[in-house]
Amino acid sequence: MTVRVGIEKLRVYPGSLVLAMSDLCAARGHDIANIRDTMMVDERSLNVPWEDPVTMAVNAANPMLSKDDRARIGLVIVASESGVDQEKPISTWVQRYVDLPSRVRNFEVKHACYGATAAIQLAASWIASGAAQGQAALVINTDESRKHLNAPWEFVLGAGATALLISDNPAVLEIELGESGIYTYEVSDLTRPTSRVETGNSETSLLSYLEALDGALDDFLARRPEAANLDAYFKRQIYHLPFGGMGYLAHKAVLRRLGISGKGDAWDSFIRKTQPSLHFVRRMGGTYGSSIFIALMGLIATDDKLHPGDRIGFFSYGSGCCAEFWSGQIGASARTAAEPAELRRLLDARRRLSVDEYEAVEVARDAAIDQCTRGIDQNILGDWYDVHYKGKGLLIFSGVQEYYRQYAWS
């Protein structure tokens, strides 16, 4: 008997701060039309100094899980390129602060923005194998950008975490196991060579992304030749989105394979097949491996023509690199299952920062990295801690003592 496997629940934690691109462009003397219309970014999420990838992971997962959910989780995988420790995985903090059983196998994976897709494929295969015996898996992607004040790519950075419950009840999305194409080769495009530095060659990364898309799609079509008419085979297509406009560049590359190269035809196809997935992405900026799942939430929330059983094509790319083009079908109760995530409400609840406040927060976050002992200033944004955190039961990062990270409930 074939086991149906996929996403039962998902939730995004977008942080509590937001920077409007109109404000940043005005401060930097940059053309807002380039960011809004070409890069397709309207806002970007930011972290307060008392949040980090650990707190985001926990704050994404906790509201999503019922007591019964926690009891049946047997596997936790956290994907991140923003790890806070060279040895201790984020997954151990997740196990503790999400109050999961002691029998939970857990670990952290790293492959740039591909890590989350690798994790859900591994988790789905574990469930389908029968070894899970009725258990579920919790997969989380959690990432934040480093400080990049006045850098050319400052406009497309961001932060956020996505938690996904993977089980044999794919209410949101059924993953079509084995329906995927892989492409990998070594390239040094983007890198985080130290705990503070996030750098690379954006042109190399763009070319590598497009080459990997082509290669992964070739492998997918070799396995599924009946999908050669991609427009008919997939109702919608989601691409890894380091910034919203990358979805348009990727979709144009796919269309060229179908002989569609006219600007008008390409744009019309993009609007129909991919543009709805940018709804929430445009408000968060770069979210690393979370981007395709935030895009899925955008489709579910805004696309009235999307129905249970509709097939979605996903493309995930991770610098370094590995890419996967994979297939899933919208679950029978996708909208009902996604509604409790309330992503729109969470985005609206963020505090809009001035550029001066944004710069102060980024300097404060950067100053805490690699410190032996350091406290966290909860007054850097006036009363924001009291307004948004105090008494709300969110996990916060409270500082470092002799290199040991300290966490507490707000």
Q: What's the pLDDT band for 258 if we cut at 50, 70, 90?
A: confident
Q: Tell me the pLDDT of the chain averaged across its residues.
A: 96
- Residues 360, 386 within the same domain: yes
- Residues 364, 316 within the same domain: no
Query: So which residues are the catalytic ones?
Result: 81, 113, 240
- Residues 12, 72 within the same domain: yes
Please tell me the predicted confidence (pLDDT) of residue 341.
87
Neighbours of 352 (CB within 10 A): 12
> Looking at the domain assignment, is residue 398 inside a domain?
yes
Section 351-368 average pLDDT: 96
Q: Which phi and psi (to 5°) does residue 323 adopt?
A: -135, 150
b/e per residue, 16-40, with b = 16+ CB within 10 A?
bbbbbbebbbeeeeeebeebbeebb
> Looking at the domain assignment, is residue 304 inside a domain?
yes
- Residues 398, 350 within the same domain: yes
Domain-ending residue, one of 306, 330, 354:
330
> Which amino acid is it at 75?
L
- Residues 160, 209 within the same domain: no
Question: Exposed, middle or buried: residue 281 (CB in 10 Å: 0-12, 13-18, 19+)?
Answer: buried
Task: Find, among 22, 37, 18, the residue nearest to 278 by Cα.
Answer: 37
Please tell me the predicted confidence (pLDDT) of residue 3.
82
Section 316-334 average pLDDT: 97
Q: State yes or no: pLDDT of 77 exceeds 70.
A: yes
**Does the pTM exceed 0.95?**
yes
Dump pLDDT digits (tens) for 82-125: 999 999 999 999 999 999 999 999 999 999 999 999 999 999 99
Q: What's the pLDDT band for 260 if we cut at 50, 70, 90?
A: confident
- Residues 10, 158 within the same domain: yes
- Residues 301, 367 within the same domain: no
Q: What's the pLDDT band for 127 if we cut at 50, 70, 90?
A: very high
- Residues 200, 86 within the same domain: no
Q: State yes or no: pLDDT of 1 exceeds 70.
A: no
Contact status, residue 258 vs residue 221, Cβ threshold 8 Å: no
56-70, 297-311, 333-347: which has the minimum mean pLDDT? 333-347
Domain-ending residue, one of 301, 330, 359:
330
* Domains contained in the chain, number: 2
> Looking at the domain assignment, is residue 335 inside a domain?
no
Q: What is the CATH number of the domain that holds 64?
A: 3.40.47.10
Domain-ending residue, one of 330, 360, 375:
330
Q: Which domain holds residue 357?
A: 6-173+342-409
> Looking at the domain assignment, is residue 337 inside a domain?
no
Q: What's the pLDDT band for 339 if we cut at 50, 70, 90?
A: confident
Q: What's the pLDDT band for 337 if we cut at 50, 70, 90?
A: confident
Section 330-345 average pLDDT: 92
